[in-house]
């Protein structure tokens, strides 16, 4: 059976996250699977690179599925783009080898977080707000401390998937673009709400509300779940997945 990869972009504002939910709760996975099943006339289960939280966006989510249908992937993609709500789209599709799995074949996930100092009517949908100035140099310093392998359990919501809480961060840092502060991070894996925890804690430190040493100390882990105030979901984007 052909194995098809889709690149997926979505505005997560009005979805209860990526993952399919029962009882009519509207999720991105649920929407795409429903439309795909209608197009292909068979039940489709998507594998996905990242399980984004409620309200989180994606610029480069990756999914795959197998189908008995003889339809070309580009035809499937076209039908999807016609039938999906405008808040979800499929910029590209491709036929991939049988052993490609959007989740397990991924080598690295990249996320970005966009933050602005004051609320904005035009940018609010796609940013978080730091509510005032923050110590940008300090946040840069903290993000360089994230690189390497750490136990991120204190920056994440508890989620017992049995894979532990060690993640290896290859790259993490802030840059500014026209008044917007942008945090980028690349790691082999991410725990639940982890980027929001990392960013929320940094913003607290940047406002002087959290001791920087305490922040870095939490990278030692310990369990017990989120110890920082997570940043709001609207500023976060699953940016890119490397295979």
CA separation for the pair 223, 14 (Å, rounded): 31
* Planar angle of CA 195, 238, 160, nearest 5 degrees: 55
| Separation CA 9–CA 210 (nearest Å) | 34
User: Token pair of 142, please?
Assistant: 């903290």
Member of 36, 49, 88, 241 binding a second copy (CB under 8 A)? 88
Q: Which is nearer to a second copy, 11 or 151 (CB)?
A: 11
When binding is defined by CB under 8 A, the residue of 59, 78, 141, 242 that contacts a second copy is 59
Asked if 152 and 221 touch (Cβ cutoff 8 Å), the reply is: yes
User: Degrees (nearest 5) of the Cα angle 170, 52, 131?
Assistant: 80
Determine the 3-state secondary structure of 180 from DSSP. Answer: strand
Interface residue with a second copy, options 4, 48, 49, 57 (CB under 8 A): 57
Q: Is 159 a catalytic residue?
A: no
Nearer to a second copy, 1 or 82 (CB): 82
Based on its alpha-carbon atoms, the radius of gyration of the chain, rounded to whole angstroms, reads 19
Interface with a second copy (CB under 8 A), residue from 43, 86, 98, 99: 86
- Binding positions for a second copy, 64-83, rule CB under 8 A: 81
Is residue 125 near a second copy by the rule CB under 8 A? yes
Q: How far apart are CA 232 and CA 53, in angstroms?
A: 11
Residue 183's beta-bridge partner residues?
113, 174
Q: Which stretch binds a second copy (CB under 8 A): 35-43, 123-131, 133-141, 208-216?
A: 123-131
Regarding 9 and contact with a second copy (CB under 8 A), the answer is yes
DSSP string across 38-88: HHHTS----EES--PPTT-EEEEEEEEEE-S----HHHHHHHHHHHS-TTE
Residue in 7, 53, 98, 151 annotated catalytic: 53
Considering the complex, what minimum distance in angstroms separates the CB of residue 161 from a second copy? 28
Provide the minimum distance between the beta carbon of 177 and a second copy in the complex, in angstroms, as a whole number: 11
Q: How far is the CB of 21 from a second copy (least distance, A)?
A: 20
What are the two backbone dihedrals, phi and then psi, of residue 64, each rounded to the nearest 5 degrees?
-145, 160
To a second copy, the closest distance from the beta carbon of 57 in angstroms equals: 6
Q: Which is nearer to a second copy, 107 or 175 (CB)?
A: 175
Contact status: 171 vs a second copy (CB under 8 A): no
Active-site positions read: 53
* Site of interaction with a second copy (CB under 8 A): 9-11, 57, 59, 81, 86-89, 91, 118-122, 124-126
């Amino acid at each position: 059976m052909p194995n098809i990869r889709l690149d997926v972009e979505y505005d997560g504002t009005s979805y209860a996250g990526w993952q399919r939910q029962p009882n009519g709760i509207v999720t991105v996975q649920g929407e795409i699977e429903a439309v795909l099943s209608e197009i292909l006339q068979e039940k489709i289960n998507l594998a996905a690179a990242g399980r984004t939280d409620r309200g989180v966006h994606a610029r480069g989510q990756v999914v795959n599925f197998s189908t008995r249908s003889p339809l070309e992937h580009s035809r499937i993609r076209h039908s999807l783009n016609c039938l999906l709500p405008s808040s979800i789209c499929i910029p590209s599709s491709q036929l991939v080898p049988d052993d490609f799995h959007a989740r397990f074949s991924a080598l690295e996930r990249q996320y970005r977080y966009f933050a602005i100092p004051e609320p904005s009517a035009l940018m609010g949908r796609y940013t978080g707000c730091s509510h005032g100035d923050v110590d940008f140099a300090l946040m840069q310093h903290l993000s360089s401390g994230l690189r390497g392998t750490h136990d991120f359990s204190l920056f994440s919501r508890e989620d017992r998937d049995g894979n532990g809480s060690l993640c290896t961060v290859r790259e993490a840092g802030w840059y500014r673009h026209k008044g917007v502060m942008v945090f980028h991070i690349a790691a082999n894996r991410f725990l639940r709400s982890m980027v929001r925890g990392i960013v929320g804690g940094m913003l607290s430190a940047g406002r002087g509300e959290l001791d920087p040493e305490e922040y870095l100390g939490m990278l030692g882990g310990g369990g017990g779940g989120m110890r920082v105030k997570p940043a709001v979901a609207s500023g976060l984007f699953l940016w890119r997945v490397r295979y």
